[in-house]
């Protein structure tokens, strides 16, 4: 890395793409933190119920991300090539995918909500009321189901906007949504300004309203700025999709969708293994993950930057410089995560004090954050490697690299440790995270072999 030269033009380009995404992700996660703290001020049962539902919705959210990411690979390269009709057709494919997922997601979460929630509820040494936690979780989920619709459609629109180089509007819409969410949370959870005190139901309602607001802003801007975003002209006219393009999107996108879906499912399964140590572990992970996600926004955002910049360079035929560009982006991502990991480790004891819960849960959350902070550079490298491989259409490889590894390695180890040993949760958590070093070696080899340098829309 010492041989890398960071030209001003390159840094400006990275900043132009990264800053809006970074700002949006930071504000979204910061407000999520504030939301989490508000719910955490009520009681541990409410906080745990919301945490369990969000674990289930995480699977749906990642499925939507995977569904739009497959066509998004082609969108970024079509933009680099200047193929407007190609962008329009990939946008249509995204809409079809997300509508199908919304229907399936609502059906599954409605029919099996009790069974799914109860998977995460185990006896606790903290005298947490499991029946009450289940009730709060169901109340929260029933309202959140409505918000799945605007969430899915907003992702289809905003993904295409970002891949077209328009990152400001999705950022502005996201910021507006989280501000609305924060304000309504304050009003509806605690019953301020004459509103009823709704608790977890108020938190869910605030989230749903904010998602509709975000969708409205993105759709309005897209359809009123056709000169800047010409792909939307005639996007719904005839709804034509080339059979060959749709086939290619399925070939490249199906492994990507399967990867995101199975990865989120695997992560939820690993979380379920952690939950066997008691409901207090669910509460502690809820606190820890909310804080860690706030610090992870840097390298998560850099993943999107890698996908956009590398995808555009591949599509425009700059194959001679793309390796150097990718190395620089990975370097920036890892260094940022090292700095933020050190900050998180130092500040970890402070955050749990914001929650109305027991000292034992606060201490456990602190230690979980410290462990996660130590592994942030590893996660950063893996994230950048994943998006590098994905940009060149190597979606089948990313499937084996990401979710396949989780399903056949991480989850079985977590399952065996949780069912057949009595090791403490902190030891179990460390062991599972340490398995990622195997992926680091695999990712380094794959990137070094340059198998991802492919112009798919040539």
Q: In this predicted structure, what is the pLDDT of residue 249?
A: 87
Q: For 35-86, how does the pLDDT look when each residue is reduced to its tens digit (9 = 90+)?
A: 778 877 777 788 888 888 888 888 898 889 888 988 888 887 788 777 778 8
Q: In this predicted structure, what is the pLDDT of residue 124?
A: 63
Q: What percent of the chain has pLDDT over 90?
A: 33
Distance between CA 64 and CA 168 in Å, rounded? 21
Is residue 125 over pLDDT 60? no
- Nearest alpha carbon to residue 445 among 389, 404, 370: 389
- Nearest alpha carbon to residue 274 among 119, 412, 425, 434: 425
Q: What residue spans of 375-457 are helical by DSSP H?
A: 376-391, 395-399, 405, 411-420, 425-434, 436-448
Q: In the structure, what pLDDT confidence band is assigned to residue 457 with cuts at 50, 70 and 90?
A: low
Q: Which is higher by pLDDT, 29 or 437?
A: 437
- Structure-block tokens of residue 169: 């509007």
Cα radius of gyration rounded to whole Å, the chain: 22
Q: What residue spans of 164-242 are helical by DSSP H?
A: 168-190, 200-224
Cβ contacts of 298 within 8 Å, gap of 6 or more: 22, 333, 336, 337, 340, 380
Distance between CA 322 and CA 80 in Å, rounded? 13
Distance between CA 390 and CA 309 in Å, rounded? 12
Q: In the structure, what pLDDT confidence band is assigned to residue 265 with cuts at 50, 70 and 90?
A: confident
Contact 369, 351 (CB under 8 A): yes
Q: In this predicted structure, what is the pLDDT of residue 455?
A: 65
- Nearest alpha carbon to residue 35 among 172, 162, 168, 180: 180
As separate numbers, helices (DSSP H) first and strands (DSSP E) second, the chain gives: 18, 0
- Structure-block tokens of residue 248: 């290619």
Rounded to a whole number of angstroms, the distance between the first and last alpha carbons of the chain is 31
pTM: 0.76
Q: For 6-24, how does the pLDDT look when each residue is reduced to its tens digit (9 = 90+)?
A: 778 888 888 888 888 888 7
Q: In this predicted structure, what is the pLDDT of residue 432?
A: 95
Beta strands in 277-388 (DSSP E): none
Q: In this predicted structure, what is the pLDDT of residue 256?
A: 76
- Nearest alpha carbon to residue 99 among 151, 158, 143: 151
Contact 428, 418 (CB under 8 A): yes
- Nearest alpha carbon to residue 386 among 338, 454, 440, 316: 440
Contact 146, 105 (CB under 8 A): no
Cβ contacts of 238 within 8 Å, gap of 6 or more: none
Contact 205, 188 (CB under 8 A): yes
Cβ contacts of 146 within 8 Å, gap of 6 or more: 208
Q: In the structure, what pLDDT confidence band is assigned to residue 456 with cuts at 50, 70 and 90?
A: low
Cβ contacts of 346 within 8 Å, gap of 6 or more: none
Is residue 139 over pLDDT 80? yes
Is residue 404 over pLDDT 90? no
Parse the chain into domains and list their residue ranges: 8-448
Place of tokens 């926004």: 297
Average pLDDT, the chain: 87
Q: In this predicted structure, what is the pLDDT of residue 307?
A: 84
């Amino acid at each position: 890395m010492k041989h890398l030269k960071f030209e001003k033009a390159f840094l400006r380009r990275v900043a132009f793409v990264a800053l809006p995404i970074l700002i949006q992700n930071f504000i979204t996660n910061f407000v999520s933190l504030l939301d989490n703290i508000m719910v955490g001020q009520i009681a541990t049962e409410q906080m745990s119920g919301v945490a369990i539902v969000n674990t289930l919705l995480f699977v749906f959210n990642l499925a939507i991300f995977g569904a739009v990411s497959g066509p998004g690979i082609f969108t970024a390269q079509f933009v680099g090539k200047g193929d407007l009709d190609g962008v329009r057709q990939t946008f249509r494919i995204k809409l079809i995918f997300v509508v199908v997922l919304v229907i399936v997601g609502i059906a599954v979460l409605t029919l099996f909500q009790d069974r799914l929630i109860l998977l995460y509820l185990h006896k606790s040494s903290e005298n947490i009321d499991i029946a009450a936690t289940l009730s709060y979780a169901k109340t929260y989920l029933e309202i959140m189901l409505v918000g799945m619709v605007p969430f899915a459609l907003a992702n289809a629109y905003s993904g295409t906007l970002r891949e077209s180089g328009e990152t400001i509007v999705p950022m502005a819409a996201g910021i507006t949504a989280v501000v609305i969410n924060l304000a309504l949370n304050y009003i509806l959870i605690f019953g301020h300004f004459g509103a009823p005190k709704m608790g977890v139901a108020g938190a869910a309602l605030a989230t749903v309203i904010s998602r509709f607001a975000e969708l409205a802003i993105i759709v309005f801007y897209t359809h009123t700025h056709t000169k800047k975003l010409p792909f939307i002209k005639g996007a719904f006219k005839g709804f034509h999709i080339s059979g060959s393009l749709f086939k290619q999107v399925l070939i490249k996108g199906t492994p990507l969708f399967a990867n995101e879906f199975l990865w989120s499912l695997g992560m939820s399964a690993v979380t379920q293994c952690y939950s066997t140590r008691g409901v207090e572990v669910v509460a502690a992970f809820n606190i820890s993950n909310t804080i860690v996600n706030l610090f992870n926004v840097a390298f998560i955002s850099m993943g999107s930057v890698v996908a956009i910049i590398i995808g555009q360079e591949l599509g425009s035929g700059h194959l001679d410089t793309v390796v150097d560009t990718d190395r620089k982006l990975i370097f920036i991502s890892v260094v940022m995560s090292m700095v933020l990991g050190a900050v998180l480790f130092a500040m970890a004891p402070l955050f749990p004090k914001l929650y109305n819960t027991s000292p034992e849960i606060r201490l456990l959350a602190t230690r979980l954050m410290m462990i996660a902070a130590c592994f942030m550079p590893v996660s950063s490298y893996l994230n950048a490697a994943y998006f590098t491989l994905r940009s060149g259409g190597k979606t089948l490889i990313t499937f084996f690299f990401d979710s396949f590894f989780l399903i056949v390695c991480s989850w079985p180890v977590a399952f065996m440790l949780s069912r057949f040993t009595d090791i403490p949760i902190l030891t179990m958590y460390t062991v599972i995270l340490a398995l990622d070093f195997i992926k680091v070696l695999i990712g380094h080899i794959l990137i070094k072999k340059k198998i991802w340098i492919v112009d798919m829309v040539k």
